[in-house]
Structure 1
């Protein structure tokens, strides 16, 4: 990493202090991700507005036109784009079809084919396909060689070639018919057996017997049959019918309803969503309304442009795949923030959505308006530094205006409000206070996570901004905040003259916690980072002196260097507050630590401290590695470490869903995850799930949480969740620039 130049040596408190200037990060010896395209998945959803409809089949043709068979005829998707769902409406495009009693639809030679009470027919091939049968209640069919078809009403079978070429009995409880072109045979699936009808010999023979069979697909270049059951799936040799391997039960949901090989991938539908088997044997799971109108899957089919159609009992989900680079994704998320998540310059959340409807949301305040805005603002500073983009500079100015007003809207010098809003829209009670301006209210009780967020971004701005005015404004705010802390005996003091609940860095509070309680370490780490940052940019000796007093006389150096393995629950003899603080791992602390590490490492007083702080940062990162959080990993790269799990950071950035609506998710009852015993860190599984299978959450949440979400009532901003780690990685040079960035 960097080395320091033009350093002056001062002795204080037994430790040497060296004021040093951080250079641009030297990432030449660190791994670099070349930003190549990946497949980004997202969903388009089409709901059935009539909840009494029974949906049964979905099919598409070579033109990408989709039809759904329902209990009231044919339907088609209407409107519908990503994040803006469409509906299923009656398909009136072929008026004669409306008068036919269509019982099934399928795709044959890339064209849609229909089964009604009289015939198999199609509008393709100039309407010449019309093969009559004599089964008025026919409901199953499949196409074979040279426009031959096998039809069944569940009791009888008819083979249609030149007329009805054969007729016989169907297996009891027939579920489906699937054609095997290599063997010119039709497989007949029922709950207890798979039979085979030979189109050459006109015979029905038993192929496999079992129980609880539900679905069937020919895969692996017609070498294997995949058989779904209520308890998992297994494979059969397509030639002999012998079972290969054991029943696969370790699935997101083992109660299977559909199976298809689509675009070379094995897809399953279940009573709890759809999933695709990856080459490594694990699953990409598509469940909840992020992906589907309902989790009860009825049918699967290939769609246009390599998409996958998932028909559920409440509508159609189209899982789409788009080639993107991380830079493309950053451009998309940048627009998401600007179009829907800016409130008075704050990086805000869109709240009160009606079941994910973005047109119904309101921009609401948050206890952490300052923090989330600081994280987004830092991302925009990094973007402006890397690209020179004019809009990034304007975004920085707008967010800086909001942060400055947090200080001026209340009467306390150097005290940042949590938020502000026009008067009349918030309750006149805690924590809201009246501003001097009669048009506005401000939010009090500011916490330590707000303070570290402010100091983080002010350091980033003061160091990296090309705009001198913004640099100076950042220094003024950091100086104002830290002088307030010093003037108030290392507390954030609110309107009532009392410290806020969490804004406490005084040794009497910090060291009152037992050594193993995390607040002792986090508060020590944060305040030293804040004081170093303030000293570096203001050159005011008071900040340096206070930092060394805390480190050498009050034990803050020992506190912040304490290994993470020693952080655990307080002993029975501890005070109640310490016990409460240490009931479990605090993931908000992780966010505060890593934001503070920017100033702790980059603005360290001397090389010895910097080297030791580097050890503390890496020690913390080692504890966090299972979470695969991109911000933790890439912030660790600030230290110049060669190992910081860049591949896992890229995995996080690629796997994070484009849909940031807080849909309700449930993973705790999945059969494909390995759960572990209850522990202090609340890590519930051996391996963290991909972000697009979890609830949307910020970096201050537990990424091992399996269930959550609020039913689509919130859309989160990508500003702090995604854009900060991405643009930090771009600034550090560990994420490369793509050769071509798509608009």
Structure 2
């Protein structure tokens, strides 16, 4: 098939796929609110034990800590003048600009650059608030009121375990205590809420008063909403609250209800009745949240047991978000000679300590990056994107030539002076060989994975997998169709031919330097059809080999590849194996296979013109996508739509791109203790998964070879992903008309 005919076919399939969405596509790139986290740890363990937080009129952030009060100004923590030593329990910034601190030894006030202790109060103060004409301070001994220029004790009796007090003119004073919610109105009425029909539980940790007069009580067990003194709503895990252990409650500037829990910050949007959760080190210094306050820009300042976190907001478009990720990618994720993959962080979470790191799939993910830049160039005509794609292709070509073979391609390369690579060379003992073969009869001992280049400058890694080869051929297909220079097309023709010929010479397997096939580089009929240990891979590996051959024929025009393709279909039934290439057997299903098949279908569906074979490939394509339609993957959704799929959820794809965090650090995100999900063993048997798809902001950073349903995923923040998992589907979606340009 000629390139011009390819584009005609591609445009046709895209139009067919888009017909049912014609009125809604492209989805306009309207500005949206992007949340992100900034950490503000304090100097010592005691200072990081933050109990309460508030923001003053000038934007200063006040924190009550185990070691006393601290204030954050211009990004620097300090101890305010005349602050006492010892634990502080509460901080309150009043409407006049003063900051009040409840401490172990009484009450302090800070104003106009100075501070002092209230001499009249020498007992612990755990809560402070203001009324129009007074300041109220409560603790385990008394309730104090400052009015008329003097402090007075309030004689009202209440449970003394006071965690928070709040006041509104229309409903009076509300006190959250360990034994119920106490209300004293200006009319003199005393109401005490503690019964099960009044509160979720009597252990009330926080109270927030809405502008609509409703009272939100945060209790051990959930939230209670009171309207005109009567319970009108309750929120527990049964109503979507992710964690029962409520520590505080606040109402955000946009009206959302923020609930601090032992598992992070949960937010309720009453307009949609949807909960969201901000947890893990991606969003918070610790999941145990003690208090929440908001600044004038709508940013949330959060007191945790390990420091202060800020969840900030800014307005972005998807195009601006793409620029953000591209900047990160080129600052930290391109290592010589042009490998693009994740980097390690010597200090977890600190991107200033980044260092290059090798990965088994460096080659295929550099090809993934190359495709990203090809689509970016096709959309924007940015010369830099074209140059990046060329450099990535040069790297892939070097992975082949560095081996000194006619067509074997390395997994990755590193400078020859590296000595901390993954999977170093080793001696495999007879005992380990036996043990490994018993556990996996297909296991192959590879003692020498790393070999020096002829010039001694590089070490290259062998035992290349099928994952790498399908990733490269997908890259070759994209490079040939999207690169607009004939000299570059000739380069990809030559490389495609070398690798394809090498696989054919190996009997449709990828033979390593030792003359035997690599552990995973197997596509031959004698293995897939004759060896029962390869039964699980029959469908996907047969599909891959057909794609290699069809792509090689498309790029080179050499009929021998078409002849091999037709022989495998006629003599070995490879097309029938491809019909249901994706396996849904619970013990054999993997999301790695989902990604590998997504690399195979574009070329097969675009280059095949036999109606019978095309029908089989479309059936295979639909069979593959039926198990992915709920994954809300922008990459899989857009691929399915671009090559003829129906009902491929472009809205879900764009929502993913918007909701995905700006932070690419691989933090561990544990959803296994959430009470708003059920843990199941589906769609795969292992590991444990959630029964509903959580939004990307509540999961670990994703690559599309990972299971998005996993309840626990990620690491300890010791590496950062490259951003290609976001950028490639974004530019793919732009190219195929699913995402529009930013709205001006």
* 8 Å CA contact retained: 2:379, 2:734: yes
Shift of 1:336: 0.9
- Give the alignment partner of residue 401 of structure 1, picking from 388, 394, 400: 394
| Aligned-partner Cα distance in 1 for 2:298–2:486 | 50
What is the distance in 1 between the residues matched to 2:51 and 2:465?
54
Pick from 171, 195, 217: which aligns with 1:227?
Answer: 217
Structure 2 residue aligned with 1:135: 121
| Structure 2 CA distance for partners of 1:4 and 1:101, relative to 1, 3 Å | closer
Quote the residue 2:664 is aligned against: 660
Given candidates 242, 265, 268, the residue that maps to 2:259 is: 268
1:15 counterpart residue number: none
Cα distance in 2 for partners of 1:323, 1:587 equals: 33
Answering whether residue 78 of structure 2 is matched by residue 90 of structure 1, we say yes
Judged with a 3 Å threshold, the aligned counterparts in structure 2 of structure 1 residues 584 and 503 are, in CA distance, closer, same or farther, namely same
Match of 1:574 in 2: none
Cα separation, 2, equivalents of 1:539 and 1:620: 29
Equivalent position of 1:702 in the other structure: 707
What secondary structure sits across from 1:469 in the alignment?
helix
Task: Report if aligned partners of 2:64, 2:91 keep a CA contact under 8 Å in 1.
Answer: yes
Shift of residue 496, structure 1, vs aligned partner: 0.8
Matched, 1:351 2:369: no
Query: What is the 5 A alignment of 1:289-368?
Result: 289-344=281-336, 345-368=338-361
| SS class of match (1:466) | coil
**For residues 16-55 of structure 1, what are the structure 2 equivalents within 5 Å?**
22-24=9-11, 26-27=14-15, 29=19, 30=21, 31-53=25-47, 54-55=49-50
Structure 1 segments unaligned to the other structure (5+ residues): 8-18, 81-87, 570-582
Helix, strand or coil at the partner of 1:305: coil
Match of 2:229 in 1: 240
User: What CA RMSD, in Å, does the superposition of the two structures yield over aligned residues?
Assistant: 2.9
The whole-number CA distance in structure 2 between the counterparts of 1:101 and 1:55 is 10
Mean CA deviation greater in 100-109 or 361-370: 100-109
Which residue matches 1:600? Answer: 604
Superposed, 1:56-455 pairs within 5 Å as: 56-77=51-72, 89-92=77-80, 95-97=81-83, 104-109=90-95, 111-115=97-101, 121-123=109-111, 134-162=120-148, 163-164=150-151, 167-201=154-188, 204-209=190-195, 211-237=201-227, 239-242=228-231, 244-245=233-234, 247-249=236-238, 250-263=240-253, 264-279=255-270, 280-344=272-336, 345-426=338-419, 427-429=424-426, 430-455=448-473
Question: Hey, what's the Cα distance between the residues in 1 that align with 2:560 and 2:256?
Answer: 64
Q: Secondary structure at the match of 2:715?
A: coil
Residues 276 and 284, structure 1, Cα contact 8 Å, conserved in 2:
yes
Shift of 1:414: 1.5
Deviations 1:327-375 (A, max 9, x none): 1111111111100000120112112532212222321111111111011
Structure 1 distance, partners of 2:730, 2:543, is 25
Structure 1 CA distance for aligned equivalents of residues 299 and 512 of structure 2 = 55
Q: Secondary structure at the match of 2:718?
A: coil
- How much does 1:240 deviate? 2.1
Identify if the C-alpha distance between structure 1 residues 23 and 355 changes in structure 2 by more than 3 Å, giving closer, same or farther.
closer
Q: What is the CA distance between 1:266 and its match in structure 2?
A: 0.5
Instruction: Assess, with a 3 A threshold, how the Cα gap between structure 1 residues 253 and 507 changes in structure 2: closer, same or farther.
Output: same
Does the residue aligned with 1:252 lie in a helix, a strand or coil? coil
Cα offsets for 1:534-566 (capped at 9, x unmatched): 1112110111111111112211111101275x6
Shift in CA distance, 691/559, structure 1 to aligned 2, threshold 3 Å: same
Cα 1:506–1:602 change in 2 (3 A) is same
Cα distance change of structure 1 residues 136 and 562 upon mapping to structure 2, 3 Å threshold? same
Q: Is the 8 A contact 1:411 1:495 kept in 2?
A: no
* Residues 362 and 100 of structure 1, relative CA distance in 2, 3 Å threshold: closer
Mapped contact 1:144–1:181 kept (Cα < 8 A):
no
Q: Structure 1 residues 372 and 20, CA, compared in 2 at 3 Å: closer, same or farther?
A: closer
Q: How many Å separate the matches in 2 of 1:118 and 1:496?
A: 78
Q: Give the whole-Å Cα distance in 1 for the aligned partners of 2:235 and 2:584.
A: 44
Residue of structure 2 in register with 1:506 after alignment: 524
SS in 2 for 1:111: coil
Task: Give the Cα separation in 2 of the matches to 1:432 and 1:710.
Answer: 26
Contact 1:55 1:312 in 2 (8 A): yes
- Secondary structure of the corresponding residue to residue 396 of structure 2: helix
Distance 1:358 1:6 in 2: 45
Deviation larger for 60-69 or 132-141: 132-141
Q: CA deviation at 1:681?
A: 5.8
Q: 1:79 to 1:419 in 2, by over 3 A?
A: farther
Q: Distance in 1 between matches of 2:577 and 2:101?
A: 75
In the alignment, is the contact (CA less than 8 A) between 2:180 and 2:204 conserved in 1?
no
Distance 2:2 2:184 in 1: 80
Asked if the contact 2:258/2:265 (under 8 Å) is kept, the reply is: yes
Distance 2:605 2:2 in 1: 12
Q: Write out per-residue CA displacement over residues 195-254 of structure 1, whole angstroms, 9 at most, x where no aligned residue.
A: 1223353x64424446452323335534322222222222222x2243535745543221
Q: Calculate the TM-score normalised by the size of structure 2.
A: 0.88
Partner residue of 1:533 out of 551, 555, 560 = 551
Deviation per CA, 1:414-467: give whole Å up to 9, x if none: 211101112232445531122222222110011111111111111111111123
1:542 aligns with 2:560: yes
Output the CA distance in 2 between the equivalents of 1:36 and 1:271: 35
- Give 3-state SS (helix, strand or coil) of 1:708's partner: strand
Q: How does 1:612-631 map to 2 (within 5 A)?
A: 612-631=616-635
CA contact (8 A) 1:174 1:188 kept: no
TM-score by length of 1: 0.88
Residue segments in structure 2 that go unaligned for 5+ positions in a row = 427-447
Change in Cα spacing, 1:140 to 1:6, as seen in structure 2 (3 Å) is closer
| Offset at residue 293 of structure 1 (A) | 1.2
